[in-house]
Structure 1
């Protein structure tokens, strides 16, 4: 990571935290009220092929049953553990707000490939050796272009084994291809464009008055 990118990450992350801490506080209180503790979830992710870190998220899934090991990516096999509030947070990606702290700590960047699980880095060492030459990020080209497809594919899976197989076969190579496209064309302007596009996908869009147009006049009888 260049010094300029690191300074940009710090400035934007601190600004976003200053602006969004009331939103984060409300979400924490909602989770405490409706879902209980723990509010945060710290997941191991890989910053480099050999360097793990703890990725901080708001918890959007009820804890696994006692004696059950919860591993792998999230598919339809885990849907029973998600409430309406959990799904809402995931849909608008609000569960990722605490990752701004990961950015400040230097674990990840604002823009880059999503940090992968260790099991997939070990399964595809050559691929991730290339992908993780870029510092992982909260958002990126693959996140924007493939997130909806990934959600659709994994939500149709009904077992952990099926979820893992679909992710390995259909998601890992396609996301890596996009991550490598980003790596070849990464610039501050491209990062800024990706951040703006991310904001547009998660914020509610208002229809402009021009697009909606004035209400049509209902003709009276005799007109």
Structure 2
């Protein structure tokens, strides 16, 4: 339909179609923009959730690593409280491992071994927590960082194995001095594992506690990797 506007004929039907087309394009553009904003918002929310999960796991693992680092120091302490020794001796007598013929030297070795095993048992829950978190740790942070947790578990296992071996080595003294010397050297190997600070480098005379050194290095590596997640003064 043509009408004259200012002496110029205007086809209002065509104009309406044109405006309708512009409206359709504008609507489509709005939908695309809204979809893009929605996608960006979702991706931002997803990234935030992932970072929150990583941060929570980092804090949990690092706190647990600190706890187990301290636990291993307690487990490997060469000092025994009187009550601890009495409880260990009671267990050993109930198991018939201490008899009237058992020498004082053997009793002390057995008490050392039993005390170490009891201490390990006292911290079993913390090590169970570590075992439970390792799969998630590996899934989120990868195997290289998870390996530091395995170092802590390995340290515990070495101490437990040394305790059993130390108890088995609590034999009567032999008549031949050379045999006694060999067995004493064997005991020293176990003691270096059982007691924190007992191992020394014979060449330099300096402390050479490999278990403590490995655990401390593992905890330090975890600290370096995780502290930025919840330390406001650090830059991630």
Normalised by the length of structure 2, the TM-score is 0.27
Larger Rg: 2
**Larger proportion of strand:** 1
Normalised by the length of structure 1, the TM-score is 0.28
**Larger proportion of helix:** 2
